[in-house]
Amino acid sequence: MCDFGAAKTANQQKTMTGNVGTLTYMSPEVIQHKPYSQKCDVYSFGIIMYETFFEVDAYCGEHENDFGNLFNLAIEVTDGKRPIIPDSIEYSYSEQEERYFALMTKCWQDEIDRPTFEDVCEELERIARGIVPNSPQRERAASKAPKERLVPPSPQKERK
């Protein structure tokens, strides 16, 4: 789900490298050569959320393998085009799925309106636990929930 060929360690100045990545995952500000922050990766994550849920490419082959079409996609993305969430035909989307879609589309907002990755992780945890923000259920769950995040445990060193 990532290409470490262009990865680098974040430096103190938080300087980001422009025009590095796969066009279909690039945020509008990166495509336009504008200054950007780590929220450009939140945009890319939102595209990955779409592809993971629907198991299709975000733009469903509209612009694949054709430089002219990829150029058109870049223009469309900077003009606000985003992947389409299909209407549910065979069944109704659950509340958790609707919340997932809401988070996913927040990741596609203009950079200033996008959540941070910390916000994304917190909402994904609430969705996974079935907790609605600002509800009595959330308050009860928060008081009983372990403080660790939903991540695999780190391997423990064997004691002798």
Can you give the pLDDT at residue 62? 56
The three-state secondary structure class of 85 is coil
Can you give the pLDDT at residue 107? 97
In Å, how far are 6, 152, 154 from 157, measured between CA atoms? Answer: 32, 15, 9
Can you give the pLDDT at residue 159? 47
- Higher pLDDT pick, 1 / 50: 50
73-93, pLDDT tens digit by residue? 888 999 999 988 877 666 788
Range in 29-33, 76-80, 139-143 the model is least confident about: 139-143
Q: Is the pLDDT of residue 25 over 80?
A: yes
Query: Which pLDDT band, with edges at 50, 70 and 90, does 123 fall under?
Result: very high
For the chain, give the percent of residues with pLDDT over 90.
Answer: 41
Q: Which structure tokens are listed for 149?
A: 């995040």
Quick one: average pLDDT of 127-145? 63
Q: What's the fold here for domain 22-144?
A: Transferase(Phosphotransferase); domain 1 (1.10.510)
34-46, pLDDT tens digit by residue? 999 999 999 999 9
pTM: 0.71
DSSP per position, 31-55: HTT----THHHHHHHHHHHHHHHHS
Phi, psi of 24 (to 5 degrees): -65, -15
Instruction: Spell out the domain ranges in the chain.
Output: 22-144
